[in-house]
Amino acid sequence: MGVFLIVGLGNPGETYQNTRHNIGFDVVDSIATRLQAEWKTDRFGWIAKGKYKSRSVMLLKPNTYMNKSGEALRFWVNSEKILASEELMVITDDLALPLGQLRIRPKGGAGGHNGLSDIERALGHQNYPRLRFGIDRRFKTGQQSDYVLGKWNAEEVALVQPSIERASEGVLLWVFQGLARAMNSANAVPPSAPENKLDQ
């Protein structure tokens, strides 16, 4: 195995900090803390490098904005000669999952997510592992953009923070013991989330 590239999707800038759409950034920040890895500005974003049980890990937070995530990811996949099906993990928000629920999958479609769609376009395939972090669908029709770009409320934070830690643990389990073990651990159903409020 070479370098494991872990990419958290989000938008750069203070405006987007602590928003639902930036949960990928939050998870890789948590992983960087666990690895005592320091963030540095580099090509197409911020990079942090560290070791986990002798495995080399590279974390990436693209600065290209969500809709152009593929540009940053493709550069680093090519630069580090990453095998996308085995050495790449993308972390993103997911409206289809209850708040705080995690789903690791070896491959799959974008599911309407603009960041994943751009990555698929950049790589030319869907065969890369991803961790989807549930942010729920608690908004009315026509308010999706405001919802995903909105900040967590106090009720949500109580579930989100433990799930960030579970996500970090799951990704590092993938690095050391493989995808099957990571899926068994991270995909377990978390404690009950607040009642969903679907589109009305």
Q: What are the residue numbers of the active site? A: 21
Spatial distance between the Cα atoms of 122 and 67, rounded to a whole number of angstroms: 11
92 strand-pairing partners: 132
SS3 60: strand
- Structure-token match 């799959």, residue found: 108
Spatial distance between the Cα atoms of 73 and 55, rounded to a whole number of angstroms: 20
Pairing of strands 40-42, 45-52: antiparallel
What is the Cα gyration radius of the chain?
16
Distances (CA, A) of 35 to 100, 134, 144, 200: 23, 24, 34, 43
Q: Are 55 and 175 in contact (CB under 8 A)?
A: yes
